[in-house]
Amino acid sequence: MKKLKYALFTGCTAKQSTPEQMMSTLAVARKLDIELIELTEASCCGASHLQDYDDFLSLVLNARNIAYAEKHGLTMVTICNTCQLNTAMTKHRLDRNPELKAKVNEKLAEVGLEYKGTSNIIHFLYAIIDDFGLDKIKKMVVRPLSEFNIAPFYGCHNIRPSELHDESHKQKENPYNPTSLDDLIIACGGMNVDYEEKNKCCGFHVELQAPHTAAVLTGTAIAGATDQNADMMVTPCPLCHLKLDTQTKSASEAIGREVSLPVLHMQQMVGLALGCSPAELGLKHHVTDVNFV
Amino acid sequence: MSTNKITTQKVNFKVFRFNADEDYLPYYEDYSMDVTSEEVVLDILNRIKWDYDGSFSYRRSCRHGICGACAIKVNGRSTLACKESMTTMIEYFGNDLTIEPLSTKRAIKDMIIDKGDFWEKHAAVTPYLAADIDENPTCENLVSPHDAEELNDADLCIQCGACHYACPVVEINSDFFGPAAFAAAYRFEADVRDSDSQRLIDVNEEKQGVWDCVKCFECAEVCPKDINPIEKITKLHQMAFKKGVAKNNVATRHAVGFLHSIKKHGMLDEGGLVLYSEGAHIVKHIPVALQMFRKGKIVMPWNMPKSDNLDEIQKLIKSSSTVKF
Ligand code: SF4
Ligand code: SF4
Ligand code: FES
């Protein structure tokens, strides 16, 4: 197989509140011999909040990010569900609306850039599964996670709206019964835990304005995984991770029950199975201790 | 007309049964049937009633996806029974299917629920055109095709409630208007003939309004009419800023804060955003922030990463901004 190469859009949390997500992404890429060219020029995707304020500006900024991936002639890989949503949504809208695309390009021309629509945009989870292949990962596992029940937490913005995500995935993901993360857990030798909240919302986006709603959603998700005997949760989204890892106190208070589980980034789980060290994967950066390694 | 051959497969149904007048608790009844690839979910409901138990109750009227009466849940997914093909359901969930009303806690009899909260929310967003109409018009009041397009199909909503009872916030916060009411509000806000000035303010209020939407896209996924309520919610946010009715509160500052951050760093300054949004209320975040700090999760302001070619980003913000707060 030709060596896989992508343009990496890190997003903002990887550089701030989830350094372990960046570390583990790079560690897994090294193990799988995937080359990642970091888009250091990229701006924030707006996280669907700038979109609430100024739609056109958020399109221009996201189109600029994609234009840099296009300049490399590479598929853009994201490591955050919300980055994936906002970037792919921009692509979707511009590719279908020549008039809008022209308007955006008029602005980008001011800084010598052009959005062409030539780069696909996929989350690293699907790059690993679709492009690298689960079977190959399975063969590379040196430390199977066979003692662990692992609860997948998919995160809204990777699975809904499915019409959008189907455009970038090779294999369809059913938003009501997603399987990618379950398959990855199994490939890593773990036991995948089935529970009702696995495709539900963590509440991250309203944490400031509706803290109770956000906390109930987080608490219910951790409780759901716990009740199905999960030893840990795993998620491809750093925002879900922040919520599930750092907000257990408010979550417990909101649902009137003490809940707390170690939460791995999808990359950390793969990294562990492939034999990366806890230090390489940044496991010490979790608020809820990862106590099993 | 499809030329595909009709296929048949066995499906096991677990069906929610409850009669609020007689039963203390709901229970589930099992039925096994051969289901053909031509059938829709409503055919199954009919067959349960006709072939097994005449007392089985559900709402339906048009059988053509128009009246909005027949929405129920299959394996937890809201679905319009008369439109949803059984083949899709089997493809989604396999051959063991659970049939429930849209909201089990609102059940009156089997699939029939009390949709009172849905209609209350709908009525609360002024779901009609407010306009000074000349009672003796001399010509038609025309809306141009371009203006009509602005509704973005919001007028096609059949009030089935599928999105409302799929929305996680509706379940947690009883004040929340819910996706269908927002779609209705948008339908009239986007109408050039409308002159109501209160509606947009109402749907932007804290607790009940658009700012409490968690952006889960459940509503967009379930809607049988492709209304995409979350898209309308986003537009209501934008309208509030454009028309200057957005209040200065934690939610609006949170949205605007992204702009300030991007202008300064290209990237988001996470700490700066929380501070800007919360103001003095930042203190309540200190315990968690300290825990995060100890784990190396907080970057100090003097170490804030910046995007390369930040000048480009700043230039684009200057030339492409369309809103002021
Ligand atoms: S996107 Fe918002 S309105 Fe739609 S279901 Fe989710 S929380 Fe409810
Ligand atoms: S928006 Fe769609 S799902 Fe919601 S009530 Fe209207 S038709 Fe039903
Ligand atoms: S019976 Fe009218 S919409 Fe289904």
Cα separation, A13 vs B143, whole angstroms: 46
- What pLDDT is attached to residue B132? 85
Residue B245 has pLDDT above 80, yes or no: yes
Q: Can you tell me the ipTM of this complex?
A: 0.96
Residues within 8 A of A (CB atoms), B 142-201 only: 168-169, 172-173
Cα separation, B84 vs B97, whole angstroms: 14
Q: Which of B79, B320, B325 to mutate to test the interface with A (most CBs of A within 10 A)?
A: B320
Residues B188-240 have pLDDT tens digits of 999 999 999 999 999 999 899 999 999 999 999 999 999 999 999 999 999 99
Q: Which of A9, A13, A39, A43 to mutate to test the interface with B (most CBs of B within 10 A)?
A: A43
B76–A61 C-beta distance less than 8 A: no
Set of chain B residues whose Cβ sits within 8 Å of the Cβ of A217: 168, 172, 214
Q: Is B63 exposed, middle or buried (0-12, 13-18, 19+ CB in 10 A)?
A: middle
Question: Mean pLDDT by 10-residue block, N- to C-terminus, for chain A (293 residues)?
Answer: 93 95 98 98 96 97 98 98 98 98 98 98 97 97 97 98 92 93 98 97 96 98 98 98 97 98 98 97 96 81
Determine contact, residues B60/B69, Cβ cutoff 8 Å: yes
* Pairing state between β B27-36 and B8-17: antiparallel
Relative orientation angle of helices A98-109 and A55-71, to the nearest 10 degrees: 70
- What pLDDT is attached to residue B3? 60
Closest CB to B172 among A44, A113, A216: A216
Nearest Cα residue in chain A from B88? A174
Residues B36-89 have pLDDT tens digits of 999 999 999 999 999 999 999 999 999 999 999 999 999 999 999 999 999 999
Percentage of chain B lying above the pLDDT 70 cut:
99
Set of chain A residues whose Cβ sits within 8 Å of the Cβ of B146: none
| Structure tokens, A258 | 């003490």
Set of chain A residues whose Cβ sits within 8 Å of the Cβ of B220: 160-161
Strands in chain B per DSSP E: 8-17, 27-36, 71-74, 77-80, 96-100, 107-109, 112-113
Integer CA distances (angstroms), A273 to A221, A268, A285, B183, in order: 25, 9, 19, 46
Residues B152-174 have pLDDT tens digits of 999 999 999 999 999 999 999 99
- What pLDDT is attached to residue B150? 94
| Structure tokens, A2 | 């030709």
Cα separation, A31 vs A273, whole angstroms: 11
Of the residues B117, B121, B158, B226, which should be mutated to test ligand 2's pocket, given the most ligand atoms within 8 Å of the CB?
B158
Closest CB to B267 among A15, A57, A285: A15
